[in-house]
Amino acid sequence: MTDPRPMLMLALDQTQAMIDTIGADELHLPTPCSEYDVRTLLGHLITVVSRIDLALTGNDPLSIPTVTTGVTDFVTTWKERRAAVDETLSDAAVLTRICKLPWATLPGAGAIAAYTGELTTHSWDLAKATGRTDLLDDALAEYCLPLVQQFIPAEPRGGQVPFGPVVPVGAGESPYNRLVAWEGRRH
């Protein structure tokens, strides 16, 4: 595997661009991630960026809740937590460090790739909810699609595999539509 850090940085940048553009009047909007509205998904993304740093520094990402609540300034909170991840990623030793994730124990390179997929998908969720799909970078979806197809089984779904059934799509669909369809989301 090539160094996955640049793609994670791109996913972090994309997620930050989404967060930077969301207004208070959009926090109530539903997202394609059925259990989250925009506010709750933003709280989850604050957790995800924190979990990335916890996992990559050898700590337990499950020590914090799935959704960070009580955030009043998502932009500032994201940027503060993102800065810690940027610092962690600056050390090449992170690629071989064994990391405990909520769903697996992996070398850092694998953990970085997995979190790239999560951020890429949730950026799409925010983009669909707020009408900002123009901010999505197809290179991220193209990078993540073969990874999720390798690591998220087509069957079974539900229970231990927290994704809906694969949604059929045509070969000509956009990279994001193919990615999210594999993860059980309708575009």
Q: What long-range pairs does 141-144 form, CB within 8 A, spacing at least 24?
A: 141/174, 141/175, 141/176, 141/178, 141/179, 142/175, 143/7, 143/116, 144/116, 144/117, 144/120, 144/179
CATH homologous superfamily of domain 5-137? dinb family like domain (1.20.120.450)
Output the pTM of the full model: 0.92
Share of the chain above pLDDT 90, in %: 77
Mean of the pLDDT values across residues 151-162?
73
Task: Count other C-beta atoms under 10 Å from residue 32's C-beta.
Answer: 20
Q: Residue 154 above 90 pLDDT?
A: no
69-108: pLDDT as tens digits: 999 999 999 999 999 999 999 999 999 999 988 778 899 9
pLDDT band, very low/low/confident/very high, at 1 (cuts 50, 70, 90): low
